Amino acid sequence: MTIIALVRHGQTDWNRDGRIQGRSDIPLNDTGRAQARAAAAALRGGDYARLVASPLSRAAETAEIIGASLGLGAPAVDARLRERAYGEAEGMQQAEYLERFPGGIAIPGAETDDEVVQRALDVVADLAAESEDPLIAVTHGGLISRLLRHVSDGRYPRAGERIGNGSQQVIEVTGSGIRVVSYIGS
């Protein structure tokens, strides 16, 4: 059994402005850095022994702040923790995105929900297979929400909820599957 805290990166200017980021490499803003410090404080005492992050700078910097605060050092990087590729929707304001791509379907150049879920399942299984030591994985809201929705049979995130910047969702990975241990909605 391996406990994994899935942490969404801190806020960026695009988060604040309601833009679709996807794989665009947008850095943290000062609010995001404060959220990373708050996430580190919330994770303190969790006996985490490992730290891994998406290579996108907003997740990597969040992980660096958490690692320094918890004495875990620099994070390992796993490209499979990247955000969903949103194709042509990247950079759009939320309102334009919802108007042009209702339901998020048929976005040219975008990764499908099934592809994101499979990638998330694969990386979580591989991280758990490396060691039973608890770990922190700093990643993105799209990946976390799709993974949680899949493993909780749609219970999380709840209708109308988003995965908040700097929030921590904890899962347990065993040989028989994945379960949500704790969930913090927005």
Q: Point out the residues that are catalytic.
A: 9, 83
**In the numeric block, which tokens belong to residue 79?**
């490209």
Which regions of 92-176 does DSSP assign to beta strands (E)?
135-139, 168-174
- Produce one character per residue of 67-100: b if its CB has 16 or more CB atoms within 10 Å, e if not: beebebeebeebebbbbbbbeebbebeeeebeee
Reduce the DSSP state of residue 169 to 3 states and report it: strand
**In the numeric block, which tokens belong to residue 161?**
């909820």
Cβ atoms of residues 53 and 75 within 8 Å: yes
CA distance 52 to 43: 14
Total residue count of the chain as it appears in this document = 186
**In the numeric block, which tokens belong to residue 147?**
């993974």
Cβ atoms of residues 43 and 70 within 8 Å: yes
